[in-house]
Chain A
Amino acid sequence: MDRRRLGIVTLAALSFLAALGSGALGLRQKRDLDLSTVLHAGWFASRTEAHLLRFLTVLERYVARGEPDRESFLERVEVLLLAVQRLVREPDGARIMADPVLAELGFEVERRLKELEPALALLRSGDESAYQNVRRRLEAVEEPLADLVARSYDAFLDAAASADQISATLRSGLISSLGLAAFSGVLLAWLLAKAVGEARNARKQADRAAFAAREAESSLRTLVDALPVAVTAVDEQGRLLLVNRHATELTGVAEADAIGRAASETGLPAVFTQTEPPDDRGFRECTLEAPDGSRRHLIATARHVIRADGSLARRVHIALDVTERRNAEERLRHLAEHDPLTGLANRSRFGTLLDSALAQPGARVALHLLDLDGFKEVNDSLGHPVGDRLLLAVAGRLVRAAGPGAVIARLGGDEFAVLQNDTEAPEAARALADRLVASLSQPIVLPEGRLRVGASVGIALAPEHGRDVDELLRHADIALYRAKELARGSIVLFSTELAAAQVFRHRLAGALELALQRGSLTLRFQPILRLQDDRLVSREALLRWPDVQSPHSVSAAQLVSVAEETGLIVPLTEWVLRAACRQARSWLALGRPCPVAVNISMTPPVVERLETMVEAALEKTGLPPHLLELEVTEGVLIRNFEQTTRVLERLRRLGVRTALDDFGTGYSALAYLQRFPLDKLKIDRQFTNELGSGPTALAIVDAIVRLGHALGLSIVAEGVERPDQLELLRHVGCDEAQGFLLGEPADAEDILRRSATDPSPVPAPTRPRRMATLGFASS
């Protein structure tokens, strides 16, 4: 082979490498660009792990052979310590530590490293026996650190712009680099064969030619073996000419055993022997089992070397192992289809699964929608990291409770869905829902304490309640809605009545909006009397629904919840406040001042505007603030406690009084009572109702009265209907009462007409004050 020929071979070899190199490099740069910001944290964590692994290696070497020296060994520990410190304590690790799960692992790593210090000190002072101790403790660091690295990749990959986009970038980059590699490979194989062949033919210079051929072959061999792709070549009869080192690693077939034999006899996988052309892109994707038992994904191609006469001279097969990249792609797909927090299917994946389940002929499917009770409170009061941990724990319990057959998804927030296949009867669906609810009945133990969350479940069945995803989801949602209205832990199966109720709610919302626009709402007022002398102390304003067509079907709770749902609660509250204040102002003008109590639904939009609304109502009507009381229910104390307290405190400073409504029915957390700006407690009607029917109710009322008085609050009993109840209330020292016995809710005009005969209202007491929700004429 002459110089020129060698030059060409070298050129070919270089172009082969350059193709591979530039392809891979281009790919890497592009990918780095996409992911650089995202992967920084993961990269950083993995570098820390690399320090640890390197350090463990140094340690092993030291223990085995006494080298490197102790100083170098200790140096490595120090490097590791700084790496972990940067991860846990410094800005570079901030993105990792922002994730609660990762942060926990980070702190764990740091803690375990700290435990290393005493043994390190011994080592520094020359105590060689400390090595074993150091090694053991370091091994304990490895586990959380490796976990941290793996999780930080997972956690941050999903923040990448789009899983699909990355995937596509990966793929197109791969294919172009493989294409270039294939082209160069063919060129190389051709030149190799030609050089060897020509050298053999040049008999005159036999020795030189043989030497040149050997040289060429050996340098090319080195090159081919160094390639990160598997390369094989066969001649026109299908006999193997070449199996490079990577191909041997991948298939377990050694070149020495294979050369000269038919490819099919060598045990090489089909991808290296196939004769038919690959797919239209020129590539074939396949998997094979490597000698170590692992499953490898390959992208393969074949190129034919054609003689001048058009016949096939040889065929070169090239395969690129893309297992790692494929795994990365699969992780990306997983991320696209799964909730990153819990690893459960996400909404879109669940929709797909539900859709395919419904498409089965004769499918019987139960769809459970599950919403956590009290999750928002946890999130608001303890913060999102705790909320996230709680969701993780909940997900775990639901998965266990649902069992292997069911598909569980997190649809978002605290909403989960369960798909139950082959449900024989509604009973089976109920049984599963029972298990789901029961699985959350025990408190969840987190480092922050024991948290109690329940769940409500709405169920819809296919085909009875719907045949497509949307319909089934909508109906399960209606059932869930109803379940949430009932009590914590309720399970509701969809029914047409529920759907009708839903329609009714829609109509109600429309009617309410119309009533607000037309001003056709009115208030009624129920007197509250002081028990000491039966004199009027205030009147509670109650909303009267003007819809004469369905006077019985609208309950207070229904109207309020419809208003809350539709956002009408804000204009409604505004209207009630103004109307009540206007009325109280007119009583004042008539020389019969009487405070008015307004019920306030303390939902966030109302709380936000309450101060403004109250001030506007007082200003517009000219009512002195001390003649307005606001009644709120206990539930609001738990929700938005801080904000609610702030708002009520400011209003109270203005002179407005506050009362806690329906006391005893909700959480009745005494700690809240202590911190809440209150003037009055209103004992729920349920206790009044049971007064006289046994000692328990009386004991409770008595206790509430004492408690309230101890806290400086005055006590009002609601729902007094019988004289014996009134007697008992007086007996335990209850301050005020209201109910049918003492006065029904009445229109303002009726009050005016009767005012001549009414007892004069007492002046507003200095201590007691009150608050409001939308009250109803049902008291």
Chain B
Amino acid sequence: MRFVLAVLTALLAISSPLRAEQLPQPTGRPILEISGAIGRTNAPGKAVFDLAMLESLGLQELVTTTPWTEGEQRFSGVDPRALLRAVEARGSELEARALDDYRVVVPIADFERFPVLLATRRDGRPMAIRERGPLWLVYPWATHPETGDQPYRGRAIWQLRSIVVR
């Protein structure tokens, strides 16, 4: 899978006329802003993504229960590592902020330890804000129960709006 992703990312990079220097401009409503220690931007000092741009990084699936909802949920979204590669992030942690002003620092190492997913969809449909969308950093609670406890539990930020890489 990682190989496929790498190829996808590479293809995307090639298809973009600005190549390594700039990301494409979002055409839809922006849902995520990444700033801080990043190498690629599409606005002054930051990289702005709409849903399509994010999902073009490659959709993966994660079926898991969550500590807040009942039953198994089928999430799809992007591998956060692919996203970080896409903006050429140079850092060890992410300061994530949500629409409801929740803030949390997520170590990038988490994404190596667990198959974390930056979910954009549940059951194939984009998630409404009231359903913890449009972006939810989903940990594999079902397969890695320790992620249901602190500190991981708090890192599963929903209604994610912006990320500062540092």
Residues in chain A within 8 A of chain B (CB atoms): 51, 71, 75, 78-79, 81-83, 85-86, 90-92
**Neighbouring B residues of A78 by C-beta, 8 Å:** 99, 128-130
Contact code string B46-89 (vs A, CB < 8 Å = 1, else 0): 00000000000000000000011100000000000000000000
In the assembly, what is the distance between CA of A90 and CA of B128, in Å? 17
In the assembly, what is the distance between CA of A82 and CA of B68, in Å? 12
CB distance from B132 to the nearest CB of A (A): 6
Residues in chain B within 8 A of chain A (CB atoms): 29, 67-69, 99-100, 128-132, 158-159
| A91 and B130 contacting across the interface, CB-CB below 8 Å | no
In the assembly, what is the distance between CA of A86 and CA of B67, in Å? 12
Chain B interface helix/strand/loop/mixed: loop
| B68 and A79 contacting across the interface, CB-CB below 8 Å | no
Which of A71, A83, A85, A91 makes the CB contact (< 8 A) with B100?
Answer: A83
In the assembly, what is the distance between CA of A322 and CA of B132, in Å? 39
Pair count A-B, CB < 8 A? 30
In the assembled complex, 8 residue pairs joining A and B whose CB atoms fall closer than 8 Å, in A order, are A75-B129, A78-B128, A79-B100, A81-B129, A82-B129, A82-B131, A86-B68, A91-B68
**Neighbouring B residues of A51 by C-beta, 8 Å:** 100
CB distance from A221 to the nearest CB of B (A): 33
In the assembly, what is the distance between CA of A82 and CA of B128, in Å? 10
Scoring B29, B67, B100, B131 by chain A CB atoms within 10 A of each residue's CB, the highest score goes to B100
In the assembly, what is the distance between CA of A91 and CA of B99, in Å? 21
| B67 and A82 contacting across the interface, CB-CB below 8 Å | no
Which of B29, B67, B130, B159 makes the CB contact (< 8 A) with A85?
Answer: B130
In the assembly, what is the distance between CA of A83 and CA of B29, in Å? 23
**Neighbouring B residues of A75 by C-beta, 8 Å:** 99, 129
CB distance from A32 to the nearest CB of B (A): 15
Known A-B contacts A51-B100, A90-B68, A91-B67; the reply to A82 vs B29 at CB < 8 A is no
CB distance from A123 to the nearest CB of B (A): 15
| A92 and B129 contacting across the interface, CB-CB below 8 Å | no
| B68 and A92 contacting across the interface, CB-CB below 8 Å | yes
In the assembly, what is the distance between CA of A552 and CA of B97, in Å? 84
Closest-by-CB residue of A relative to B98 is A79
In the assembly, what is the distance between CA of A79 and CA of B99, in Å? 7
| B29 and A79 contacting across the interface, CB-CB below 8 Å | no
In the assembly, what is the distance between CA of A91 and CA of B70, in Å? 11
| A81 and B130 contacting across the interface, CB-CB below 8 Å | yes
**Neighbouring A residues of B132 by C-beta, 8 Å:** 82
Can you add 15 more A-B contacts, CB < 8 Å, to A82-B129, A90-B69?
Answer: A51-B100, A71-B29, A78-B99, A78-B129, A78-B130, A79-B129, A79-B159, A81-B129, A82-B100, A82-B131, A82-B132, A82-B158, A86-B68, A90-B68, A91-B68
In the assembly, what is the distance between CA of A101 and CA of B129, in Å? 29
**Neighbouring A residues of B159 by C-beta, 8 Å:** 79, 82
**Neighbouring A residues of B130 by C-beta, 8 Å:** 78-79, 81-82, 85
CB distance from B64 to the nearest CB of A (A): 17
In the assembly, what is the distance between CA of A92 and CA of B130, in Å? 16
In the assembly, what is the distance between CA of A265 and CA of B77, in Å? 71
**Neighbouring B residues of A91 by C-beta, 8 Å:** 67-68
In the assembly, what is the distance between CA of A705 and CA of B154, in Å? 70
Closest-by-CB residue of A relative to B159 is A79
A-B CB proximity, top 7 nearest:
A78-B129, A81-B130, A78-B130, A79-B100, A82-B130, A90-B68, A79-B99
In the assembly, what is the distance between CA of A655 and CA of B158, in Å? 64
Scoring B69, B130, B131, B132 by chain A CB atoms within 10 A of each residue's CB, the highest score goes to B130
In the assembly, what is the distance between CA of A90 and CA of B132, in Å? 13
